[in-house]
Structure 1
Amino acid sequence: MSLKFDHYAVMGNPIAHSKSPMIHTAFAKQTGQNIQYDALLVNNFTEAVSEFKKNGGKGLNITVPFKQQAWELVDIRSKRAEKAGAVNTIYFDQQGHLIGENTDGIGLVRDLTINHKAKIAQQRVLILGAGGAVRGVLEPILAAAPAQCVIANRTVAKAEQLAQLFDHKIIASSYEGLKNHSFDLIINGTSASLQGALPPLADGLLAEGAWCYDMMYAKTATLFMQWAQQQGAIKVLDGLGMLVEQAAESFYLWRGVKPDTQPVIKQLQS
């Protein structure tokens, strides 16, 4: 007797580096779910989604460069996805509609507050960058009720656009404008530190007891993480936990089961 597997996948270009198949396979084994999860290299995104659905696929994760295209393609968007301007999770309802969700922000907040016991409420939060990755996580960060949320970007107009989109619950700033201000939590939402670059950050941005979090992750400490250590952050974290937590939220949306993320995070760290 052969077991029937429900088919899920992550679509992106490039995709070979994706850890999603390993993560979801581990979740399925842990929770006793019969799923097959593949990494699909895609050129024509709309066509690929249509083909996947036609072949009985149950749900998709979407990664670079298709998150904005996924947002435009879906029939229904969650409130989180609507504000995020990007979709990283798709599932199909009984009528065959494409439902779009964004789990990145919830993954970030859970990693910080649950895995690491960080505090966001009533903290002064600085976010570096104003691109799609940052927009995608703002709604859950603001829902955690920081005392202040500042977005710094080389092009201040982009940060100002986000401030308007989120009803001015955010303060837009240049990097130069951060001087003489300090923060309890700094989140790097740029990919610059993976390319060996850093935004022009002044000394003294970290308040006493400040934490720093890089949404990117690599085998060794990113340039931003190295900067944070040199500046005296008491806790310096990368985005590996965020990756696993956002995947867990996708898995829950698809399967109605919440996996234990801790063993999977440990597996990826080893």
Structure 2
Amino acid sequence: MAIFTVFGNPVAHSLSPQIHQAFAQQVGVELNYTRSLTSVLRFRRAVAEFFRSGGAGANVTVPFKQQAFDLVTYVTTRAQQAGAVNTLVPLGYGQLLGDNTDGIGLVRDLQKNLQQKLTNRDVVILGAGGAARGVIAPLLEQGVASLTIANRTIEKANLLVEKFGQPTLQACRFEQLTIPTDALVINATSASLTGQKLPLESDELAHAACAYDMMYGAQPTAFMQQARQAGVAVVQDGLGMLVEQAGAAFQLWHEGAELDTQKVIQKLRKTIVG
């Protein structure tokens, strides 16, 4: 039986085993998907030991995505653009391919599950950290009209603009943010993990047609509450992104697999809400 795992810290509450088991049932394959708690100092050794013992593939979550990028033999274009790896594919002879499925997971959730148009759409990303960096290129590839990166400090946002070098890309501080009418606003900050509200005016946020938080939980996040109070029509968390990025990883390990991700999202939603 093929063995897969997710490396993380913390990792006890990871939904990855449930998601990949559900995918396996859909396509009729048997696998064992585990959780691997490790540390920054032990991560490289843990990965090596897992694949030496016959591991068939692995996911990587915080805080190891940058380390994974540094240890793999090859990276895909989207992992190179993200500067981080969340999926490991063994190539044999100790070699690993590193991919990043976060961005495509977001795009698939927005387009397929939320029916959100991205082509010629004004998009705002809140935050300029690793989560933002991982989704910029996939969003740009959809032909967005503009993509604004808003952050507490302008320096980090400017670095991302310089890295991707696209004329549709711009940066600003939260206080300077002007949200275009009918824009898609994506929260890529970690504020929702601590329940912090972002420094956004309700009148400004009200211009958005869709507010999307990359975080998820049993209750609406602080950002989702802000958006609903502002009257945004479509407000959604990142559970669908989690499932879609997992689906993209599963398809790397099981070529040609056709997955019903919406069914898995619905099942997990019921589990989380309780």
- Find the counterpart in structure 1 of residue 132 from structure 2: 134
Partner of residue 30 from structure 2, selected from 28, 34, 41 = 34
Structure 1 unaligned blocks of 5 or more: none
More deviation, 196-205/159-168: 196-205
Q: Secondary structure at the match of 1:258?
A: coil
Q: Distance in 1 between matches of 2:12 and 2:267?
A: 19
- Find the counterpart in structure 2 of residue 267 from structure 1: 267
More deviation, 178-187/112-121: 178-187
Q: Distance in 1 between matches of 2:146 and 2:135?
A: 16
Q: Distance in 2 between matches of 1:128 and 1:255?
A: 34
Q: Secondary structure at the match of 1:204?
A: helix
- Find the counterpart in structure 2 of residue 186 from structure 1: 185
The aligned amino acid for 1:225 is M
- Find the counterpart in structure 2 of residue 20 from structure 1: 16
Aligned pairs for 1:77-92 within 5 A? 77-92=75-90
Aligned pairs for 1:202-221 within 5 A? 202-206=201-205, 210-221=209-220
Residue 258 of structure 1 deviates from its aligned partner by: 2.8
Identity %: 50
Going from structure 1 to structure 2, the CA distance change for 1:83 and 1:209 (only over 3 Å counts) comes to closer
Q: Distance in 2 between matches of 1:213 and 1:149?
A: 15
- Find the counterpart in structure 2 of residue 10 from structure 1: 6
More deviation, 194-203/118-127: 194-203
Query: Does residue 98 of structure 2 align to residue 100 of structure 1?
Result: yes
Structure 2 unaligned blocks of 5 or more: none
Which whole-Å deviations, capped at 9, do the CAs of 1:118-175 have from their partners, x for residues lacking one?
1111111111000001101111111111111000001111000000111134101001
TM-align CA RMSD:
1.4
Residue 199 of structure 1 deviates from its aligned partner by: 2.1
- Find the counterpart in structure 2 of residue 160 from structure 1: 158
Which whole-Å deviations, capped at 9, do the CAs of 1:74-117 have from their partners, x for residues lacking one?
11000000010110000011444110000000000100001111
Going from structure 1 to structure 2, the CA distance change for 1:60 and 1:240 (only over 3 Å counts) comes to same
Q: Distance in 2 between matches of 1:182 and 1:132?
A: 27
The aligned amino acid for 1:130 is A
Would you say the 8 A contact 1:249–1:258 is kept in 2? no
Residue correspondences, number: 266
Residue 179 of structure 1 deviates from its aligned partner by: 4.4
Q: Distance in 2 between matches of 1:259 and 1:87?
A: 22
TM-score (norm 2): 0.94
Would you say the 8 A contact 1:183–1:206 is kept in 2? no
Q: Secondary structure at the match of 1:250?
A: helix
Residue 17 of structure 1 deviates from its aligned partner by: 1.0
More deviation, 95-104/147-156: 95-104
TM-score (norm 1): 0.95
Q: Distance in 2 between matches of 1:19 and 1:193?
A: 18
The aligned amino acid for 2:250 is F
